[in-house]
Amino acid sequence: MNFSDNGNLIAELSILAKSPQLLVMLDFDGTISPIVSTPEEAEIDREIEEILTELEKLPSTDIWIVSGRSLSDLKNKVTFKNLIGSHGIECPFFDEEKIDCDDLIRLKNNMECLLMNYRGVHIEQKAYSVSVHYRNADSIDEETIKKIVKDNSGDFNITEGKKVIELKANGRNKGDACQMLLDHCKCRSSIYVGDDITDEDAFRALKEKSVTVKIGEGKTNAKYMLRNIDDLRLLLKKLLDERRYFN
């Protein structure tokens, strides 16, 4: 649905804008950064970055980026300080996880060997996981690639996203992290925006506690849906304008 046609969402934004304390949570890839061929190419949408920067300057308004990327990677992509990485594993409100890096290296090497004959596969090692990206693979190979990854994941937790399979050393997810964030901030007014399968964990966890918005098509647990990043710009601009008015 077009943002301008979504009257219920616009009404909820007005309520959020008036709240004494506001928490804005957003995914990175596919939400505030357009989907691109490889993870390295991704950049935040500059207009959205400017809007969020202005929002964060307002009293009692916190911006949090909640991403599947590692914190070290995310810090190179955004200037915002409040970050949750690795699909919720790297969260300042959880005790730091102890991960055997050798296990991740072995997993990555094994995946590279198993998938070396499939064109367009990109394997990425993160702080707490290994990601197998197949966005650029031949479509005829996709199901085979997914089966190989899942059948050889060992004790790692499997999380699927858009043209990517994440093998995580920990079962925590974005929903766990966002719930912990709400509890820590003691904030009753919040919004979460995401686009991917991994954001569904957050949509479910925040269902009765937050305004939830999915970018793009597909079945979702989010309360609202928008077509694309263009609509997200409109949403954030309206939230900024109204919150400025009430502050």
Per DSSP, what are the bridge partners of residue 62? 23
Residues 14 and 79 in one domain: yes
Domain boundary among 144, 168, 192: 168
Overall number of domains in the chain: 2
Residues 8 and 90 in one domain: yes
pLDDT tens digit sequence for 39-77? 899 999 999 999 999 999 999 999 999 999 999 999 999
pLDDT at 170: 78
Residue where a domain stops, chosen among 136, 168, 200: 168
Domain region containing 152: 101-168
Same domain? For 158 and 183 the reply is: no
Cβ-count burial of 202 within 10 angstroms (0-12 exposed, 13-18 middle, 19+ buried)? buried
CATH code assigned at 14: 3.40.50.1000
- Position 185 scores a pLDDT of 86
Give the list of residues 6+ apart from residue 135 with CB closer than 8 angstroms, or none: 37, 120, 122, 162, 163, 164
Task: Give me the pLDDT at residue 111, please.
Answer: 97
Q: Do 149 and 47 sit in the same domain of this protein?
A: no
List all residues 6 or more positions away from 233 whose beta carbon is below 8 Å from its beta carbon.
45, 47, 48, 51
Question: For the segment 82-96, what is each residue's pLDDT rounded down to a tens digit?
Answer: 999 998 989 888 776
What parts of the chain have a pLDDT lower than 50? none
Structure tokens at 10: 């616009």
pLDDT value of residue 127: 84
Does residue 201 sit in the same domain as residue 131?
no
In terms of domains, do 8 and 89 share one?
Answer: yes
pTM of this prediction?
0.89
Residue 128 shares a structural domain with residue 36: no
Judge contact between 168 and 129, C-beta under 8 A.
yes
* CATH number of the domain that residue 143 is part of: 3.30.70.1020
What crossing angle do the helices spanning 7-18 and 229-246 adopt, rounded to 10°? 40
Q: What is the pLDDT of residue 202?
A: 97
Helix and strand numbers (H, E) in the chain are 8, 10
pLDDT in tens, 96-107: 666 678 889 999
